[in-house]
Amino acid sequence: MIVAMWESATDDQIQEVTNHLVKMGFAVHRTTGARQSVLAAVGKRIDFDIRELEVLPGVQGVHRISAPYKLVGREFRHEGTIVRLPNGVEIGGKQVVVMAGPCSVESREQLFAAAEIVGRAGAKVLRGGAFKPRSSPYTFQGLGLDALKLLREAGDCYGLMVISEVMEISQIELMLPYIDIFQVGARNMQNFNLLRELGKVRKPVLMKRGIAATIEEMLLSAEYIMSGGNYQVILCERGIRTFETYTRNTLDISAIPVVHKLSHLPITSDPSHGTGLRDKVAPMACASVAAGADALLIEVHPSPDEALSDGAQSLFPEQFAELMDQLRMIAPAVGRTI
Amino acid sequence: MIVAMWESATDDQIQEVTNHLVKMGFAVHRTTGARQSVLAAVGKRIDFDIRELEVLPGVQGVHRISAPYKLVGREFRHEGTIVRLPNGVEIGGKQVVVMAGPCSVESREQLFAAAEIVGRAGAKVLRGGAFKPRSSPYTFQGLGLDALKLLREAGDCYGLMVISEVMEISQIELMLPYIDIFQVGARNMQNFNLLRELGKVRKPVLMKRGIAATIEEMLLSAEYIMSGGNYQVILCERGIRTFETYTRNTLDISAIPVVHKLSHLPITSDPSHGTGLRDKVAPMACASVAAGADALLIEVHPSPDEALSDGAQSLFPEQFAELMDQLRMIAPAVGRTI
Amino acid sequence: MIVAMWESATDDQIQEVTNHLVKMGFAVHRTTGARQSVLAAVGKRIDFDIRELEVLPGVQGVHRISAPYKLVGREFRHEGTIVRLPNGVEIGGKQVVVMAGPCSVESREQLFAAAEIVGRAGAKVLRGGAFKPRSSPYTFQGLGLDALKLLREAGDCYGLMVISEVMEISQIELMLPYIDIFQVGARNMQNFNLLRELGKVRKPVLMKRGIAATIEEMLLSAEYIMSGGNYQVILCERGIRTFETYTRNTLDISAIPVVHKLSHLPITSDPSHGTGLRDKVAPMACASVAAGADALLIEVHPSPDEALSDGAQSLFPEQFAELMDQLRMIAPAVGRTI
Amino acid sequence: MIVAMWESATDDQIQEVTNHLVKMGFAVHRTTGARQSVLAAVGKRIDFDIRELEVLPGVQGVHRISAPYKLVGREFRHEGTIVRLPNGVEIGGKQVVVMAGPCSVESREQLFAAAEIVGRAGAKVLRGGAFKPRSSPYTFQGLGLDALKLLREAGDCYGLMVISEVMEISQIELMLPYIDIFQVGARNMQNFNLLRELGKVRKPVLMKRGIAATIEEMLLSAEYIMSGGNYQVILCERGIRTFETYTRNTLDISAIPVVHKLSHLPITSDPSHGTGLRDKVAPMACASVAAGADALLIEVHPSPDEALSDGAQSLFPEQFAELMDQLRMIAPAVGRTI
């Protein structure tokens, strides 16, 4: 950490800041320049509130030097993390893994139809929501445990791994026997109680970026899971909130190469939630793979017009099959396969 | 709801949209203009996904006419809601209610000192965090139940009501005997499971705006609580995320008059979290009252330099007393008292 | 336009709004529903300030039905516009056109080297800035007329068309003999005086999206040029300002399919300014083509380390050649060539 | 400037960065910590592109230490700048100066009526637009020179100073004889050619913050004017673009205390453009004064319903008079008068 003092800072003020840094556990080096003094604080601690220093008299600015995370950083692990699923599929490897399925599990018929469609087209993981707390208390709230059982059955039937969203600590135990990947939604990216519990689990966690979260904050949340001992973390870009209103969110595709530079963790793109509009899903899925995404998360429904949730952003079966064909052409351009 | 069709829309497309609207429970009126047809859908339903219509062929745009909420709207209740606390203090009445205290309850000594300071200066409600899940698993996580007991004791001792944040459903029962107002943090504004349970409680809920939430989304979350039967909801502006980085968030003071126009619910301003910087708290507290805020939520610590959390945005005791004096001069300009 | 009245609106209020609409030149149809009255205003006028109605008593909300633009819309022209350059290259056709070159024209040597590099790799248009007003009055301000002459010479020498930025009305005449495409920078997207003059010119205009402009506002600015008689307008996405700070801007790739839906005009992507970081340019260029961009605008410098401006986001010659090879593999997946 | 190297950076990489810094004119101090090396670059230069260093191999991050501006900073001038107008009114002094009038000068009758209204209520400066390039080429474009003459006459008649917006370099000479303050609109905040010319003028310049400009960028633009020799610069907050759509922009009131901390220049608030809605103007004007604004810029029209532009955000005469009464009550709370 670097603390720059104002040109007008007194020696007493510089001393007070130095004392504060020492109390925080840092060794301090002082450089006195023509215009101002600069304090370099060196140490191993990464969790501190820089504002504690910013409010001290005489301080012009405080700059973090080391990243506020450690385990998720490229410095900690140079080669990319590969998350291996039980059936051998690898997320973060040469193959771009497509995870697809309906927003919500609605019925056995619907889910098995979806699983067959996505599996046949080349998806490796089946997605489907079991718990659906919604903004209106009157709308469909998900099938819960029944959905989990159906996901497992459908996954096994069609040779697909299974991913579903966990929303509360109490659901972890319930889900463990049925799913292969825990999904953490954008709204829970900073639900630290939930992240802490997922740090104790020994199954992969796919964690979505919050709609107002910086890339650094996403990495910090991943660090939280990893610090609990679970190193199988997959990141996911799913759109951020901006002033543009035509799309529901703005899918920040540049987050893909940025994450690859800063971290060894694989990163997924979710063009369905990222745009909220069916006819934007395919172009943004193609763009994500072209930008280097390790995986995709896509909503597909056997008949989107009858979907109980998110039908408007779900692909029709034939659209998904066409998209997979496009992706197969794009992947080799970036050294990948589908 | 209004559905505008493209000039090029066919009669079949218009019919299909009409059928869809009827299936959703609306009566449909068609207006055919020089350039295009427009369908007006009339009905009582307020919970629907307009994107279902947006993706239909021939549709140019879909416009909500009625607000997506009902109970929180000014149309539902013209006079402003007044939330009455057990000791007679009213939030939403003529008096601007100041709630103040430390970020976290750290010890009996700290909390009682804080309570005395804020009470003497004119605050009516004592704030203090009991549960503090933090981004780092190594930092202070709050005193939990002990904090709640201390809050009650300190509140009773100094004649203050007590507010504290609830983060999980399991904490509601625990908190009920000790606190007067449940606070819902910005990160939980769309935790619908939690909101549903708070709808069943018979104590006031102060709900903060999420950092990426529109005013309308804040009102929808309040609707969620009210639809459960709890009408004692207090809103709170606490800063939104923008491109400006000097302040931690941008306190959207215009949300105060906007909420007063759209809703009958009282609205609080939290300049401590809204700016994240101690020397910006007083100006923004003054601005909030001048803009019509019904209440303020302010972090005050007996000795901010030693605070275990958020010290940088906590006021010193004498700063808080001075601020209260300023507020007493401003309030009459907008027809209020402190 | 639709005006929704509050349930509590009086007949007098409804009449006043109706009169106002008639005065604005609209025919008015009134629908009275169970909860409220709705006025549908039908007419040809597209330029009005809806806030004039929003502030009238009894008005709940005002909704535009027709787009606020006409000439740029897909309804006006169903097939995509193809901008034909003097040498036969077409922007908006099957081929994705790559425009590349240095940020600024610095010298004959530098520009000719750049032109050879980008031409050999497959670019069809040479870019280079002539006027460089900069935030510091002490830094390089561009070579002006000399730069324009060099651009023409280098373009002719290597068979490339030439694009350069126009910043003031007075530069139009100066530039006309030398360039093939006028570029309007993001900061001038709403410089309506400049746009009006470019509407009178008979050369293509590539207009960049402002960093805080919605897609609709970009289309409105294009409408301004077209309404002057110049239909050869090319749009350009170059990044919007969001809360994310790692990248200089957030390149909104979803703007590409959105523009293709709303408008017949071709759209370019500028990954150099969109990210501001050299190592993000190639992934975002690939993503743009995969999402359907009609053209790319890329900064390439013979030796970026010595560039007088924007060196950090300029590609090295060999990077550009590699990128072109990648793009050649991606384009066929979306039915295009490079 | 501080350059933090990765832990894995080689000595050669560190040497290369050092050489680059020396070439840029800095003296370099190296600190080697447990985890990484840090280079402190000390010098007087403030205009450089930190990305030049960010892209060098081995660099983890680059941090500016000194502000990128000098003349506008509090370090350069500790006491606040007071801009004295010809009639003795001071902006930046104890009195909060209210500037008011119509959006556009529409006629002698309208302007004189407005001047009488705002002057009688206590405004010291008359505002009015002369040049109105609008998004539609068919709407009112302003009276130009006639408007300037009317402003001068009306100002002299009612004892008011005069402010009007300059949009192009060519207008400066034209305006000089008639106006007391040049206003630079939000869209021109980074029109460096215009700013450079205004730096040569010897009249005050009120410069508005761009809707996507950070506070630091606003200060940099003010620096541009000052570096030309014109030190009479007044800043103006007028709303930034955020995801919230209810208000036209989000008036960032926290910019007022932030500017007061960073700079000695006075800062104005424009609640009319900041909200775009008449009924939000008064609360936000009150909030601005409570937060410490040195001046206000408010749109007032003798009959807003008939205004040719921005009628929806213009106050009625009686609303303005009431607001002035409110402001007179608030100002003393922050040590000011109106």
pLDDT at A67: 79
Collect all residues of chain D within an 8 Å Cβ-Cβ radius of residue B235. none
Q: Is A63 on the interface with D (CB under 8 A)?
A: yes
Give mean pLDDT, residues D172-193.
96
**Looking at C318-327, D54-63, D204-213, which range is the least confident one?**
D54-63
pLDDT at residue C122 above 60?
yes
Q: Is the pLDDT of residue C218 over 90?
A: yes
Contacts of B138 in chain A (CB under 8 A): 47
CB contact under 8 A, B191 and A196: no
Which secondary structure element, helix H or strand E, spans residue B197, and what is its range? helix B192-198
User: In the block, which residue shows the tokens 């067959």?
Assistant: A116
Better pLDDT: C1 or B80: B80
Instruction: Locate A280 and state its tokens.
Output: 């934007």
Using the Cβ of C60 and the Cβ atoms of chain B, whether some distance falls under 8 Å is answered with yes
Among B36-45, B170-179, D212-221, the range scoring the smallest mean pLDDT is: B36-45
Q: Residue B148 — pLDDT band, cuts 50, 70, 90?
A: very high
Q: Which two tokens stand for residue C68?
A: 């606020």
Query: Average pLDDT, stretch B61-86?
Result: 90
Q: Mean pLDDT lowest for which of C262-266, D71-75, D214-218?
A: D71-75
Test D333 with B286 for CB contact under 8 angstroms. yes
Which residue of A53, A65, A258 to mutate against D (max D Cβ within 10 Å)?
Answer: A65
CB contact under 8 A, A38 and D40: yes
Query: Does the beta-carbon distance from B75 to C7 stay under 8 Å?
Result: yes
Q: Which residues of C are less than 8 Å from D301 in CB distance?
A: none
pLDDT at residue number A213: 97
pLDDT of residue D6: 86
User: Beta strand pairing status for B59-63 and B2-5?
Assistant: antiparallel
What is the CA A213 to chain-centroid distance, rounded? 10
pLDDT value for B182: 98
The whole-number pLDDT of residue B135 equals 56
Contacts of C27 in chain B (CB under 8 A): 33
**CB of A310 within 8 Å of any CB in chain B?**
yes
Please tell me which residue of chain B has the smallest CA distance to C45. Answer: B35
Q: What's chain C's average pLDDT?
A: 92
Give residue B211's pLDDT: 96
Q: Please check the confidence at residue D248 and state whether its pLDDT lies above 60.
A: yes
Identify the residue with better confidence: D153 or B312: D153
Contacts with A323 from chain C: Cβ below 8 Å:
none
- Alpha-helical (H) ranges within chain A are 11-23, 51-54, 108-121, 145-158, 169-175, 192-198, 215-227, 255-262, 271-275, 278-290, 317-330
pLDDT at residue A111 in the model = 97
Give pLDDT tens digits for D87-107. Answer: 999 999 999 999 999 999 999
With cut-offs at 50, 70 and 90, classify the pLDDT of residue B118. Answer: very high
pLDDT exceeds cutoff 70 at D138: no
Find chain A residues with C-beta within 8 A of D55's C-beta. Answer: none
The torsion angles phi and psi of A165, rounded to 5 degrees, stand at -85, 135
Q: Which residues of B touch C28 (CB under 8 A)?
A: none
User: What's residue D8's pLDDT?
Assistant: 86
Residue A115 has a pLDDT of 98
- pLDDT score of D2: 86
Under an 8 A CB cutoff, do A290 and C286 touch? yes
Residue of C51, C139, C224 with shortest CB distance to D312: C51
C137 has pLDDT over 60: no
pLDDT digit string, tens, across residues C10-49: 999 999 999 989 988 888 888 877 678 888 887 777 677 7
Select from A215, A249, A254, A334 the residue whose CB has the most chain C CBs within 10 Å, as the one to mutate to test that interface. A254
Average pLDDT over residues B38-47: 78
Of residues A37 and D155, more confidence is placed in: D155
| Set of chain A residues whose Cβ sits within 8 Å of the Cβ of C291 | 283-284, 286-287
Tell me how far apart the alpha carbons of residues D9 and D57 are, in angstroms, rounded to a whole number.
8
Instruction: Give the 3-state DSSP-derived string for B213-274, with helices as H, strands as E and coil as C.
Output: CCHHHHHHHHHHHHHCCCCCEEEEECCECCCCCCCCCECCCCHHHHHHHHECCCEEECHHHH
Q: How confident is the model at residue B133 (pLDDT cuts 50, 70, 90)?
A: confident
Nearest CA in chain A to B222: A135
User: Mean pLDDT over all residues of chain A?
Assistant: 92
The pLDDT value recorded for residue D63 is 87
**C29/B35 Cβ within 8 A:** no
Q: Which of B34, B66, B241 sits opposite C42 (nearest CB)?
A: B34
Q: Does D261 touch chain A (CB under 8 A)?
A: no
Among the listed residues D10, D14, D27, the one whose alpha carbon sits nearest the alpha carbon of residue D53: D14
Q: So what's the pLDDT on residue B105?
A: 95
Tell me the C-alpha distance between B246 and D240, whole Å. 14
Q: pLDDT tier at D48 (50, 70, 90 boundaries)?
A: confident
Nearest to B314, CA basis, from B127, B108, B133:
B127
Residue C135 has pLDDT above 60, yes or no: no
Q: Which residue of C has its CA nearest to B61?
A: C65
Q: Do A290 and C292 touch (CB under 8 A)?
A: no
| pLDDT value for B139 | 62
Check CB contact under 8 Å for C65 and B36. Answer: yes
Give helix then strand counts, H and E, for chain C.
Answer: 11, 14
pLDDT average, residue stretch D169-173: 93
Residue D210 pLDDT level (bands cut at 50, 70, 90)? very high
Instruction: Return the percentage of chain D with pLDDT > 70, whole number.
Output: 97
Residue B91 has pLDDT above 80, yes or no: yes
User: What 3-state DSSP class applies to C168?
Assistant: coil
- Collect all residues of chain C within an 8 Å Cβ-Cβ radius of residue B258: none
pLDDT above 90: residue B129: yes
Selected for mutation to probe chain B from A49, A279, A303 (highest B CB count within 10 Å) is A49
**Percent of chain D scoring above 90 in pLDDT:** 71
| pLDDT tens per residue, range B245-298 | 989 899 999 999 999 999 999 999 999 998 888 899 999 999 999 999 999 999
- On chain A, the residues whose CB falls within 8 A of the CB of B301 are none
Query: Which chain D residues are Cβ-neighbours of C191 within 8 angstroms?
Result: 133, 187
What's the ipTM?
Answer: 0.92
pLDDT band at A166 (very low <50, low <70, confident <90, very high): very high
Q: Where in chain C is the domain with CATH 3.20.20.70?
A: 83-334
Strands C27-32 and C37-42: antiparallel
What's the CATH fold of domain D2-63? Alpha-Beta Plaits (3.30.70)
Q: Do A137 and B278 touch (CB under 8 A)?
A: no
Mutate to test the interface with C, among D23, D64, D136, D224 (most CBs of C within 10 A): D136
Confidence of residue B137 (pLDDT cuts 50, 70, 90): low
Give the closest of D55, D168, D210 to C193, CB-based. Answer: D168
Lowest mean per-residue pLDDT among A210-224, C265-279, C323-337, D26-40: D26-40
Could you report the per-residue pLDDT of A206-227, keeping only the tens digit for each?
999 999 999 999 999 999 999 9
The residue in chain B having the minimum alpha-carbon distance to the alpha carbon of residue C8 is: B75
pLDDT at residue A191 in the model: 93
From C256, C280, C326, residue closest to A257, measured CB to CB: C280
Query: Measured between CB atoms, does B333 come within 8 Å of chain D?
Result: yes
Residues of chain B positioned with their CB less than 8 A from the CB of C7: 75
By Cβ distance, the residue of B254, B261, B284 closest to D250 is B254
Domain ranges in chain A with CATH number 3.30.70.1140: 2-63
Q: Residue A138: pLDDT above 60?
A: no
What's the mean per-residue pLDDT of chain D?
A: 92
The answer to whether C145 and C104 are in contact (CB under 8 A) is no
Between the ranges C28-37, C299-308, D235-244, where is the mean pLDDT highest? D235-244
Instruction: Output phi, psi for B252, to 5 deg.
Output: -90, 85
- Per-residue pLDDT of A304-325, as tens digits, reads 888 887 778 899 999 999 999 9
Interface contact flag, A55 B138, Cβ < 8 Å: no
Interface of C with B in 148-167 (CB under 8 A): none
Please report the pLDDT score of residue D218 as a whole number: 97
Alpha-carbon distance values, A39 to A60, A95, D151, D213, D228 (Å): 11, 47, 55, 30, 34
Q: What is the mean pLDDT of residues D4-25?
A: 90
The reported pLDDT for the residue numbered A63 is 86
Q: What is the CATH number of domain C83-334?
A: 3.20.20.70
Does residue C250 sit at the A interface (CB-CB below 8 Å)? yes
Task: Report pLDDT digits (tens) over B166-221.
Answer: 999 999 999 999 999 999 999 999 999 999 999 999 999 999 999 999 999 999 99
pLDDT of residue A309: 79
Burial of B59 (0-12, 13-18, 19+ CB in 10 A): buried
Average pLDDT (D168-176) is 94
What residue ranges in chain B does DSSP mark as E strands?
2-5, 27-32, 37-42, 59-63, 83-84, 90-91, 97-101, 125-127, 161-165, 181-184, 205-208, 233-237, 267-269, 295-299
The residue-averaged pLDDT of D6-13 equals: 89
- For position A240, what pLDDT does the model report? 97
CB contact under 8 Å between C36 and B63, yes or no, is no
More confident residue, A139 or A303: A303
Average pLDDT over every residue of B33-55? 79
Contacts of D29 in chain A (CB under 8 A): 31
**How many Å apart are CA D200 and CA D193, to the nearest integer?**
12
Task: Look up residue D187 and give its two tokens.
Answer: 């869209």
Query: Per-residue confidence at B163, pLDDT binned at 50, 70, 90?
Result: very high
**Looking at the predicted structure, is the pLDDT value of residue D45 above 80?**
no
- In the predicted model, what is the mean pLDDT of residues C322-331? 98
A190/A181 Cα distance (integer angstroms): 19
Predicted confidence at residue C235, as pLDDT, reads 98
CB–CB contact A254 C250 (8 Å): yes
Cβ pairs bridging A and B (under 8 Å): 93
Cβ of residue D7 closer than 8 Å to a chain A Cβ: yes
